[in-house]
Amino acid sequence: MKKIVLTVVFLMVLVGTHFSWSGHEGFTYHLVKNIVPDELVEIREYSYQEKRIYNVSKLVLGDVCGKAILPPWDGALVPPDPTPSNGRVPAWQILTVYSSEPDWGMDQDLSLSPHQVLIGNSQGVRHMKYRLLGLDFFEGDESFYYFHDMAKEAFKRGDRYWGYRFLARALHYIQDLSQPYHNVPGEILEVLKGLFDGTTKRMLANAHFVYDDFLAFLIYSGDEDILKAIEEAEPIFTKNEWELVQVVRGLAMSYFPTVHKEMKRVFEDTLKKREPSEKAFSVVSPEEFRSLYENGSLDSLKFYTVELVGKVSSYLKGYLISFLRSVKNIK
């Protein structure tokens, strides 16, 4: 049974390699800016023995603050990214900039499992956690735990720069787990149909990419409701990281049916016809999002997305606050 489902999952993954709940920097900036202390952190060299392998050709280990955040379109409201001064950067900036780091290529083209040949790319293995027919696949949760532990270790060593940077990576993976399409590739009948039917396969891949871009569009357009949902979310604390992962995945999965229905209603032909692409905003452009947004077509999708992101933000704030307390630095 697991083998059959596994084959289905692998075939689904072949549809594309765009795996990010886009807008990580924006999401993180609005999440952390009122929580993290005004701490200036000295940039440190990387000095860790790790249990993870990376695509070293794409792994960035130097500091890129001040040159990392590019607006996805002219006039997009991206977070500030000041140039470091005297070798120091604010804690909020490390968290913001490096929350997108796992999407820069470090998880691509690796040999992570014997089934690697079927997957085509390893990034999805580390950024997603599918549940299909009651079975779980992939390692998004393990990626989160891994960088949570690395962050603890760095803070313990007194290396606050890498402490925040590993924490930013942990935030990336837990944010990925809050994206419905990172947990569920499609309705089960669509997933099965997608094995034989190119249009269905394309529709599911595009639904994932376009929903990623939709959140980025809302955040970088400065939509007041999404920003308020993130910034004003009241912290909720979980007992431990395991419980956090279960709650976040549970929320993402509970929103899947509504979000997926809305995605198909709003974007139906676009999802079926256009070529899936991992490049942000290349399936639905910012201009197209803008015109749908202005004529009210995205209202319902936005309503559910704001609700989901607000709930997730509460748990992420609870997590961050207790993490920062444990390393003794909190406002």
Q: By C-beta, is 27 or 323 nearer to Zn ion? A: 27
Q: In angstroms, how far is CA 192 from the centroid of its own chain?
A: 26
What's the start-to-end Cα distance of the chain, in Å? 50
Q: By C-beta, is 176 or 223 nearer to Zn ion? A: 176
Contacting range for Zn ion; rule: CB under 5 A; set: 11-19, 133-141, 194-202, 206-214: 11-19
Chain positions 30 to 69 lying near Zn ion, rule: CB under 5 A, are none
- The three-state DSSP-derived secondary structure of 205-270 is HHHHHHHHHHHHHHHHCCCHHHHHHHHCCCCCCCCCHHHHHHHHHHHHHHHHHHHHHHHHHHHHHH
Q: By C-beta, is 69 or 298 nearer to Zn ion? A: 69
Position 57: which residue type?
A: S
Contacting range for Zn ion; rule: CB under 5 A; set: 109-117, 139-147, 171-179, 191-199: 171-179
DSSP 109-149: S---STTHHHHS-SHHHHH--EEETTEEES-HHHHHHHHHH
CB of 173 to Zn ion, least distance (A): 7
Chain positions 13 to 32 lying near Zn ion, rule: CB under 5 A, are 19-20
Cα dihedral value 313, 319, 320, 325, nearest 10: 150
Q: By C-beta, is 127 or 260 nearer to Zn ion? A: 127
CB of 102 to Zn ion, least distance (A): 5
CA count, 13 A, side-chain hemisphere, 258: 15
178 binds Zn ion (CB under 5 A): no
213 binds Zn ion (CB under 5 A): no
Under DSSP, the state recorded for 195 is T
Residue 242: CB atoms within 10 A of its CB come to 11
176 binds Zn ion (CB under 5 A): yes
314 binds Zn ion (CB under 5 A): no
CB of 322 to Zn ion, least distance (A): 23
Binding mask 89-128 vs Zn ion (x if CB under 5 A, - otherwise)? --------------x-----------------------x-
The footprint of Zn ion (CB under 5 A) covers 19-20, 103, 127, 176
